């Protein structure tokens, strides 16, 4: 920055060196943002490390594409197959487990598909399809959308066949999908974290949970600075190191809504 400095009667241009703002960009999922987790974590990180974080909250597929373009320093997502592909392409430096929660099937308490209380997620999806009960799909290439499509496939159901009747893809994040499900009394696959922090539940409730196939792992990766010279590798890695450190893991475990823990730390070192 330049400013004019008066010295006696003369005016001299003097270049003043200021410490550059330390800011990183993290491309992450809507669930980490809409659940309120980042609102809890980022001030703690910034206080510890003196680094501010700009979050771009999109679906996992979009977050990884942002990383591929070099428009983020770190990606923090939840679709292991897509993450492994990102790494195999040489787009990331190293992948770290950070935390997990699970997915749940939420639906109207009237439960026209009669899935309440069941733990078998594929059986629940088959019942929803057979009943042609309204189902909201995020349809946004997110980690949740990828999990939903994988589960439909395991159930032996092609939901696309119901696209013009009971199955609706909206191309939006978890919050809007839950809002739409609430307003139309539809079923939806949600990550538990966003569901617990969601206020506009209407007649919705968790109807299917507990299947091991609903496990939802989150991972974090530094975008490879060898591919994108603008990546702030040192500060980006500092964020990753903090997340997987005992302090970061404790902060994740400490985030609760209504007394319920939303994410469970499981960093691997």
Question: Which pLDDT tens digit goes with each residue over 116-162?
Answer: 999 999 999 999 999 999 999 999 999 999 999 999 999 999 999 99
Residue the block writes with tokens 């307003």? 183
Average pLDDT of the segment spanning 233-244: 98
Burial of 80 (0-12, 13-18, 19+ CB in 10 A): middle
Average pLDDT of the segment spanning 75-90: 97
Cα 98 to chain centroid distance, Å, stands at 12
> Measured on CA atoms in the order 217, 173, 171, 180, is the torsion positive or negative?
positive
* The pLDDT of residue 20: 53
DSSP bridge partners of 75: 27, 221
Give the separation between CA 173 and CA 144, rounded to whole angstroms: 9
pTM as predicted: 0.87
The backbone torsions φ and ψ at residue 247, rounded to the nearest 5 degrees and listed phi first, read -70, -45
Q: Are 34 and 175 a contacting pair, CB within 8 Å?
A: yes
Domain 23-101+218-265 has CATH 3.90.1150.10: no
Give the separation between CA 148 and CA 262, rounded to whole angstroms: 20
Cα 23 to chain centroid distance, Å, stands at 20
* The pLDDT of residue 164: 84
Residue range 102-214, CATH number: 3.40.190.10
30-41 confidence digits (pLDDT tens): 999 989 999 999
Supply the mean pLDDT for the chain. Answer: 92
* Start and end residues for every CATH 3.40.190.10 domain found in the chain: 23-101+218-265, 102-214
Give the separation between CA 55 and CA 262, rounded to whole angstroms: 19
Q: Are 99 and 264 a contacting pair, CB within 8 Å?
A: yes
Given a cut of 60, is residue 171 above it in pLDDT? yes
Q: Where are the beta strands (DSSP E) in 39-91?
A: 52-57, 74-77
- Nearest alpha-carbon partner for 228 in 69, 75, 87: 69
């Amino acid at each position: 920055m330049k400013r004019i400095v008066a010295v006696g009667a003369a005016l001299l241009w003097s270049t003043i060196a200021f410490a550059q703002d330390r800011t990183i960009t993290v491309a992450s999922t809507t669930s980490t943002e809409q659940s309120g987790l980042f609102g809890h974590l980022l001030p703690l990180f910034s206080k510890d490390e003196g680094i501010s974080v700009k979050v771009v909250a999109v679906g996992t597929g979009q977050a990884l594409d942002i990383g591929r373009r070099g428009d983020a320093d770190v990606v923090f997502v939840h679709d292991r197959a897509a993450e492994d592909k990102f790494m195999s392409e040489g787009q990331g430096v190293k992948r770290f487990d950070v935390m997990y929660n699970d997915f749940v099937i939420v639906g109207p308490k009237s439960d026209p598909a009669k899935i309440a209380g069941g733990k078998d997620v594929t059986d629940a999806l088959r019942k929803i399809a057979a009943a042609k009960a309204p189902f909201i799909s995020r349809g946004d290439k997110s980690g949740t959308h990828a999990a939903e499509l994988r589960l439909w496939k395991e159930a032996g159901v092609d939901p696309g066949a119901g696209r013009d009747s009971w199955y609706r893809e909206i191309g939006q994040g978890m919050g809007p999908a839950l809002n739409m499900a609430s307003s139309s009394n539809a079923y939806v696959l949600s990550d538990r974290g966003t569901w617990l922090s969601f206020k506009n539940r209407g007649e919705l409730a968790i109807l299917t949970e507990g299947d091991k196939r609903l496990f939802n792992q989150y991972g974090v990766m530094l975008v490879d600075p060898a591919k994108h010279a603008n990546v702030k590798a040192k500060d980006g890695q500092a964020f990753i190191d903090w997340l997987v450190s005992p302090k970061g893991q404790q902060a994740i475990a400490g985030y609760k809504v209504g007394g319920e823990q939303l994410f469970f730390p499981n960093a691997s070192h």
